[in-house]
Amino acid sequence: MTRRKDIVATVDIVEVFGDAGSLPFFNAVQGVLRRTTNITCLKLILSFEPALRILPTTQVFDNLTDLNVNAPHTTVALFLMNHLSITSLAVGACHTSNCPLTDCLLPLLRALTCPTGCVRAVTNAATPLTHLATTHGATGQDASFPLLQLLNFTPILTSSIITSLNINIDHQTTCLLRRISVATPALHVLRLTESPFLVGVRHSIFEQLIV
Ligand SMILES: [Zn+2]
């Protein structure tokens, strides 16, 4: 028993995804998380009903800096209240109309991956963000978020400078590069991906098929 405790105390990274993220393994996953409180990196991608409170929101991982989870943002917000040392955050679909991450203090956050519709909620003038990537969640709410609400000719607020942007785009967006340059005026790296999920892109592909 003592030997097992010693081993889990030195675990630095816990990653749960694929079959390990299915419901039959959930109790085992919770057991692992209860004993690996020294980790710095947690990836938790579960494949069952996301409404479950899949994050141990009352448990504290004192050294955690890197979090990648697909829990609803309401749950993620509760978890982040006790984890102010997060420097890298990746989240899945939001599952609410008003992103609850807007109230989170993330004073050390440097890298963020989140749905397009949640970027403005997470970022603020106190967040030293340098790397931003947007995704499309599985819900209609995330997929239908208009890109123009993010790229609305106002800067994305941070206390630092965003130098890397990875974003899903609709090539029919007017003034796309100008919108990006206003939102993130000091980029060193820009990755644009034509998203098949955006409404405008779907229409464009359909029009090409019927010509
Ligand atoms: Zn959100």
Query: Measured between alpha carbons, how far apart are the two ends of the chain, in Å?
Result: 69
Query: Residues within 5 Å of ion ligand 1 by Cβ?
Result: 73, 94, 99, 118
- Written as one letter, the residue type at 139 is T
List of residues 6+ apart from 159 with CB closer than 8 A: 125, 126, 127, 128
**111-114 long-range contacts, CB within 8 A, separation 24+:** 111/87, 112/88, 113/68, 113/89, 114/89, 114/90
φ, ψ dihedrals at 51, nearest 5°: -70, -15
CA of 18 to the centre of ligand 1 (A): 23
Identify whether the C-beta of residue 71 lies closer than 8 Å to the C-beta of residue 114: no
pLDDT tens digits, one per residue of 142-201:
555 678 889 999 999 999 999 999 998 877 788 999 999 999 999 999 999 886 655 554
Kindly give the distance from the C-alpha atom of residue 105 to the centroid of ligand 1, in angstroms, as a whole number: 14
For residue 103, how far is its CA from the centre of ligand 1 (angstroms)? 11
Predicted confidence (pLDDT) per residue in 71-113, tens digit: 889 999 999 999 999 999 999 988 888 899 998 999 999 999 9
| Structural domains of the chain ordered from first start | 2-210 (3.80.10)
Beta bridge pairs of residue 193: 168
CA distance 81 to 71: 15
Q: What distance in angstroms lies between residue 73's CA and the mean position of ligand 1's atoms?
A: 5
Ligand 1 mean position, distance from CA 8 (Å): 32
Q: What is the pLDDT of residues 36-72, one digit of tens each?
A: 989 999 999 988 776 566 677 778 999 999 999 998 8
| Global confidence as pTM | 0.86
